[in-house]
């Protein structure tokens, strides 16, 4: 079964209008493998027929299911370990000093997929009581995908997923093995909140975050959408906050709202507003 240009156009339009994500050429191969189980479940014979049914969201439930199937949820624990470690160190080094009075940190994992990223952060804080005992660390994981957020909230991972990035010691400390799956223990789940939220919408909180992680999400946005998302994230971060992107992503040349953090290499901080400067 081959994807026709008609089907590609419809699927791309559906995904982009709902999430901002584009189906780049090198992601088309995924479409076939992710849509085929759905077509079998709905007894739909062929991509063109499926495309016709979801065009203009004529069948809203099917359109939602196709959108979910087209999203890429690839994630794993402690993804990109050097940068992840650097973030935790940086937070400990800088934000911990400047937040001594309130002893509170607010962290937003935007596009958190099935939860590995916020849980990795929660584990990092919980395992350093000498630094963080007595602090309130709010970690909010958000994603446009209802399926991904439901899975993140459940905190249940297969053997394959749990082994990706999570050392055995931490796996045994923070997850219980039940029926071949691994369930986050209550002491871990209580540390992270999840919410369905699209980066195309206003930020999920009016109180700014000290740290925003937005990793491996911006890659597939068209340039104007990416610029608008940076704009939103700038509204949602404290003036001395830290923005972390994915290993292959940069804010440089994409926005004037963030600039390289001079102290923490590879990270970004909000650019100070310049009087009369046009938003970029």
Determine the longest span between alpha carbons in the chain, in angstroms.
62
Among 51, 65, 79, 118, binds ligand SAM (CB under 6 A): 79
What x/- string results for residues 8 through 27 when contact with ligand SAM is judged by CB under 6 A? -----------xxx------
E strand segments, 11-84: none
- According to DSSP, the residues that pair with 195 across neighbouring strands are 142
For 238, residues 6+ apart whose C-beta sits below 8 A from its C-beta are 208, 209, 210, 270
- Which is nearer to ligand SAM, 165 or 208 (by Cβ)? 165
What's the min distance (Å) between Cβ of 6 and ligand SAM? 24
Q: Considering the complex, what minimum distance in angstroms separates the CB of residue 244 from ligand SAM?
A: 10
Alpha carbon distance 69, 30 (integer Å): 10
Q: Name residues contacting ligand SAM, limited to 130-169 (CB under 6 A).
A: 143-145, 148
Report d(CA 72, CA 92) in Å as an integer: 31
Q: Is 233 in the site for ligand SAM (CB under 6 A)?
A: no
The structure tokens listed for 67 are 């959108």
In this structure, what token pair is assigned to residue 110? 């935007």
Shortest Å distance, C-beta 213 to ligand SAM? 7
Cβ 130 to ligand SAM, closest distance in Å?
Answer: 28
Q: 235-264 mask for ligand SAM (x: CB under 6 A)?
A: -----------x------------------
- Residue 95 in the binding site for ligand SAM (CB under 6 A): no
Q: To the nearest whole angstrom, how small is the minimum distance from the Cβ of residue 101 to ligand SAM?
A: 31
Residue 210 binds ligand SAM (CB under 6 A):
no
Smallest Cα–Cα separation from 279: which of 258, 248, 260, 256?
Answer: 256
Of 112 and 140, CB closest to ligand SAM: 112
Residues ≥6 apart with Cβ < 8 Å to 12: 22, 23
Counting Cα atoms < 13 Å in the Cβ hemisphere of 70 gives 27
User: Which residues of this protein are in contact with ligand SAM, per CB under 6 A?
Assistant: 19-21, 71-75, 79, 111-113, 117, 143-145, 148, 198-200, 215-217, 246
């Amino acid at each position: 079964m081959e994807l026709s240009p008609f089907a590609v156009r419809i699927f791309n339009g559906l995904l982009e209008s709902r999430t901002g994500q584009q189906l780049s050429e090198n992601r088309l191969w995924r479409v076939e493998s992710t849509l085929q189980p759905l077509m079998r479940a709905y007894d739909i014979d062929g991509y063109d027929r499926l495309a016709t049914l979801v065009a203009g969201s004529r069948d809203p439930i099917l359109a939602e299911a196709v959108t979910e199937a087209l999203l890429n949820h690839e994630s794993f624990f402690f993804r990109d370990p050097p940068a992840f470690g650097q973030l935790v160190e940086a937070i400990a080094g800088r934000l911990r000093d400047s937040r001594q009075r309130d002893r509170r940190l607010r962290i937003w994992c935007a596009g958190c997929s099935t939860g590995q990223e916020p849980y990795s952060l929660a584990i990092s804080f919980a395992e350093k009581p000498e630094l963080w005992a007595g602090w309130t660390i709010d970690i909010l994981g958000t994603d446009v995908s209802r399926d991904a957020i439901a899975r993140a909230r459940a905190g249940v991972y297969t053997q394959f997923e749990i082994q990706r990035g999570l050392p055995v010691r931490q796996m045994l400390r923070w997850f219980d093995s039940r029926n071949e799956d691994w369930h986050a223990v209550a002491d871990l789940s209580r540390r992270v909140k999840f919410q369905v939220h699209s980066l195309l919408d206003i930020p999920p909180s009016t109180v700014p975050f000290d740290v925003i992680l937005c990793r491996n999400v911006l890659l597939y946005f068209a340039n104007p959408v990416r610029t608008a998302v940076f704009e939103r994230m700038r509204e949602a971060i404290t003036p001395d906050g830290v923005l972390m992107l994915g290993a292959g992503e940069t804010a440089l040349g994409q926005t004037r709202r963030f600039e390289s953090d001079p102290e923490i290499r590879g990270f970004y901080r909000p650019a100070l507003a310049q009087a009369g400067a046009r938003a970029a």
